[in-house]
A and B are shown apart, each in its own frame.
Chain A
Amino acid sequence: GNSVTQMEGPVTLSEEAFLTINCTYTATGYPSLFWYVQYPGEGLQLLLKATKADDKGSNKGFEATYRKETTSFHLEKGSVQVSDSAVYFCAQSLSSGSARQLTFGSGTQLTVLP
């Protein structure tokens, strides 16, 4: 079936460390892929997206590349800040009849220490 698997947390890093959060997907066809971020007490916000193979999404220093050959969409940031502490969700969109729905991974809690 269609699913998204992401690296389990929690992840704790020191400020300015390199971040990778792994995400792999299973889907028929060509889904669009997303990373959402959830700050404490808030809803999810779109962080970045990619709609086709080899696309790179980027925002706020975060990047992820749509790799069809490995069915992956890993999130990276070269130097994390304390303000990046949040829960990160990988998601894919899939079609159901005429509609598309998002399927989310289970989320990865990131804590960045000063």
Chain B
Amino acid sequence: DADVTQTPRNRITKTGKRIMLECSQTKGHDRMYWYRQDPGLGLRLIYYSFDVKDINKGEISDGYSVSRQAQAKFSLSLESAIPNQTALYFCATSDLWTGPQHFGDGTRLSIL
């Protein structure tokens, strides 16, 4: 089984819909992150969390919200999806702020 699991792997939806992307991890890491990847832009940080009581905005948090339900679970929500949120979304974990991050395989989200 993968250490960092994202569901769903692919999602197509319509403008205005609410969408939730889920991430679970078995690595026992405290720190979890959500990124989006767009062609030519690399990865940009949306939100990150140290534990269930700690949520922090990243570079591009507008239009997104997150929930850290447990140490192992970190979900990303789009309250009202818009087409420019079409992207590849990655969840990651780390045990230290300076340590390597471990990524899931991504969720490809298309908003029509």
Seen from chain A, the residues whose Cβ lies within 8 Å of a Cβ on chain B are 4, 32, 34, 41-46, 49, 51, 89, 93, 96, 98-102, 104-107
Classify the interface of chain A: helix, strand, loop or mixed: strand
Chain B residues touching A, majority SS = strand
Separation in Å of the B83 CB from the closest CB of chain A?
22
Contact B103 A43 (CB under 8 A): yes
* CB-based A-B contact count at 8 angstroms: 51
Measured in the bound complex, the distance between the Cα atoms of B53 and A79 in whole Å is 48
Q: B48 and A49: CB pair below 8 A? A: no
Identify which of residues 92-112 in chain B touch chain A, using a CB-to-CB cut-off of 8 Å: 92, 97-98, 100-106
Across the interface, B105 reaches (CB within 8 A) one of A4, A42, A49, A105, namely A42
Q: A34-B100, A104-B42 are in contact. Are A99 and B105 (CB under 8 A)?
A: no
Distance (Å) between the CB of B59 and the closest chain A CB?
Answer: 8
B98 touches A100 (CB 8 A): yes
Which residues of chain B (1-55) have a CB below 8 Å from chain A?
A: 4, 40-45, 48, 50
Tell me the nearest residue of chain A to B54, going by C-beta: A99
Instruction: Name the residue among A43, A93, A99 with the largest chain B CB count within 10 angstroms.
Output: A43
Q: Which listed residue, A46, A100, A105, A107, touches B97 by the CB 8 Å rule?
A: A100
Q: Give the residues in chain B near A34, CB-CB below 8 Å.
A: 100
B80 contacts the other chain (Cβ, under 8 Å)?
no
